[in-house]
Amino acid sequence: MHVTDHLAKARGPLYSFEIVPPPRGRSIKDIIDVVEKLQPLEPPWIDVTSHSSSAHYREKHDGSIERKTFRKRPGTLGICGIIQNRFRIDTVAHILCLGFSREETEDALIEMNFLGIHNALALRGDAPNYQKPTRKDRTENQYACDLVQQISDMKGGKFLEDLEGSQPLDYCVGIAGYPEKHFEAASLKVDIQNLKKKVDAGAQYIVTQMFYDNDKYFRYVEACRAAGITVPIIPGLKILRSAGQLKTLPKAFHIDLPDALVDEVHENPTHAAEIGKRWTLKQCEELLNKGVPALHYYVLNDSDHVVDVVKKLKK
Ligand code: FAD
């Protein structure tokens, strides 16, 4: 089922999750264990991130977030296929512009369709520090709006070259939004104008970057609506796990942390995980009270805290 169908048919709040493929050479078992823990929460869908030959985020044992730009985590589509077939949970495959040619993207989208994966989150990604040799006969999507357009073309049966008897393919397309502005954008207004380009190219819903101050999300939704963006805007949430993340989260994701959260963790750093869970729980309760369509959790590969929070919300 499409993400938008889940949203349309929901009778209560939806809880979705985002997981990261294991590093190259590691077993798939870790990811299966995470999905087994998430399954009882009845997620309507699970997102699986994608990584070019560079950018990836790692949550270390001490909870700090490390951003590395050279190690590849392959397997996004394979993991989506396993989750859908083994757990009967719909998946959203993240598809990137940077690091992939449009031809490779077309191949990946065809493969998704064959595997029965009909949801894609279209993202630009961040510039790889490893540059593939450029081939003159291949092109790259520059911005996520270009990728959304490529997917919309395929939904209309239009491929990179004219193919006799080509069939329209079936995808629901999501995109990323930034309540605190994308770090490269000159202003939030400009960023929202660029967000609108993605929606105009065919994006059907938005998932936000993580935020720790709900007012920023509410103001962002208001500004998007004023700019003529009508698609659902799903809040993205990440539970703070350690005192170290007070530094690594803002650095890796270009977000601000509220003074009250920072002060509480500084006063009691050994209880950072408990404080983080309580903070997110409070955020979720307010978001649900204000009628958000769904809550999306950045799990990375640590599901225990997320499971605790969602279990409390579902009581
Ligand atoms: P875009 O929408 O292309 O925007 C990038 C910048 O360019 C913005 O500043 C925007 O204002 C500007 N811009 C956009 N369109 C135009 C235009 N037409 N003309 C001029 N300027 C323009 N990264 C990964 O590597 N893998 C993942 O799986 C992944 N998943 C993510 C999931 C979510 C929900 C989020 C919020 C982020 C994710 N990211 C992931 C990170 C993301 O790739 C980066 O934040 C990246 O820097 C921007 O991606 P985007 O799709 O928002 O880019």
Say if residues 88 and 62 touch (Cβ distance below 8 Å).
no
Predicted pLDDT at 61: 79
Give the atom of ligand 1 at the shortest distance from the alpha carbon of 142: 3
H helices, E strands: number in the chain:
11, 10
**Residue 151 C-alpha to ligand 1 middle, in angstroms?**
16
Report d(CA 20, CA 11) in Å as an integer.
29
Residue 314 corresponds to which tokens in the numbers above? 């579902």
Residue with token string 């450029």: 134
Unique residue bearing structure tokens 């996004």: 76
* Total number of residues shown for the chain: 315
**Cα(176) to centroid(ligand 1), Å:** 6
Q: Please, what is the Cα angle at 49 between 17 and 292, to 5 degrees?
A: 35
Which residue among 3, 91, 143 is best mutated to probe the pocket of ligand 1, counting the most ligand atoms within 8 A of its Cβ? 143
Q: What is the pLDDT of residue 130?
A: 55
Determine if ligand 1 sits within 6 Å of the CB of residue 123.
yes
Domain definitions of the chain by residue range? 3-314
Residue 290's contacts (CB-CB under 8 Å, 6 or more residues apart) are 218
Report the topology of domain 3-314: TIM Barrel (3.20.20)
Q: What is the mean pLDDT of each run of 10 residues along the chain (315 residues)?
A: 98 96 89 96 97 70 70 84 97 94 95 97 82 70 97 96 90 98 98 98 98 98 98 98 97 97 98 98 98 96 92 95
What does the pLDDT read at residue 54?
A: 57
Position 70 scores a pLDDT of 52
Of 279, 276, 281, 278, nearest to 313 by C-alpha is 281
Atom 28, ligand 1: residue with shortest CA distance: 49
> What's the pLDDT score for residue 127?
73
Q: Using CB atoms within 10 Å of the CB of residue 133, give its burial: 0 to 12 exposed, 13 to 18 middle, 19+ buried.
A: exposed
3-state secondary structure of 248: helix
Nearest ligand 1 atom to the CA of 210 is: 36
**How many angstroms is it from 91 CA to the middle of ligand 1?**
20
CA 202, CA 173: separation in Å to the nearest integer?
Answer: 7
- The dihedral sign for the CA sequence 128, 131, 132, 135: positive
